[in-house]
Structure 1
Amino acid sequence: MTVTLITGANKGIGYETARQLLALGHDVWIGARDAGRGEKAAAELGARSVQLDVTDDASVAAALATIDAAAGRLDVLVHNAGILETGLDGPTALRSFDTNAVGIVRVTEAALPLLRRSDSPNVVTVSSSGGSFWAVTNPDRPEFSLPVALYAASKAAATMLTVQYAKAHPGIRFNALEPGTTATDMTASFGIGRSPEQSAAVVGRLATLGPDGPTGTLQDENGTLAF
Structure 2
Amino acid sequence: MENQSVLTNKNQLVALVTGGNKGVGFQIAKALADNGYIVYVGSRNLSNGEKAALEIGINAHAIKLDVTQQSTISAVAEFIEKHHGRLDLLVNNAAISHAGKPGRTLEETTEAGRASTASLEEVRMVWETNVFGVIGVTQAMLPVLRKSSAARIVNISSGLASLSWIADPSCWSRDYFDVIYAASKSALNAVTMAFALELEKEGIKVNAVSPGFTATALNNFQGTDTPEEGAREPIRVALETDGPTMKFTGPDGPLIW
Q: Secondary structure at the match of 2:173?
A: helix
Matches within 5 A, 1:1-227: 1-46=12-57, 47-85=60-98, 86=109, 87=112, 88-146=118-176, 148-170=178-200, 171-188=203-220, 191-211=222-242, 213-227=243-257
Gaps of 5+ in 2: 1-11, 99-108, 113-117
Report which stretch shifted further, 96-105 or 144-153.
Answer: 144-153
Does the CA-based 8 Å contact 1:129-1:143 persist in structure 2? no
* Counterparts of 2:173 and 2:19, CA distance in 1: 24
* Counterparts of 2:206 and 2:194, CA distance in 1: 9
TM-score normalised by L of structure 2? 0.84
TM-score normalised by L of structure 1? 0.95
Give the deviation of 1:167 after TM superposition: 0.7
Q: Secondary structure at the match of 2:96?
A: coil
Give the deviation of 1:140 after TM superposition: 4.2
- Deviations along 1:26-57, one digit per CA (max 9) or x if unpaired, are 11110001111111111111211110000011
Does the CA-based 8 Å contact 2:28-2:235 persist in structure 1? yes
Amino acid at match of 1:198: E
Amino acid at match of 2:18: T
Match of residue 101 from structure 2: none
Identity, in percent, stands at 36
Does the CA-based 8 Å contact 1:4-1:77 persist in structure 2? yes
* Counterparts of 1:144 and 1:77, CA distance in 2: 31
Name the larger-Rg structure. 2
Give the deviation of 1:149 after TM superposition: 2.9
Does the CA-based 8 Å contact 2:16-2:41 persist in structure 1? yes
Gaps of 5+ in 1: none
* Counterparts of 2:44 and 2:172, CA distance in 1: 31
* Counterparts of 1:137 and 1:17, CA distance in 2: 31
Give the deviation of 1:147 after TM superposition: 5.4
Does the CA-based 8 Å contact 1:124-1:175 persist in structure 2? yes
Amino acid at match of 2:249: Q
- Deviations along 1:118-140, one digit per CA (max 9) or x if unpaired, are 01000000011212112223354
Amino acid at match of 1:31: G
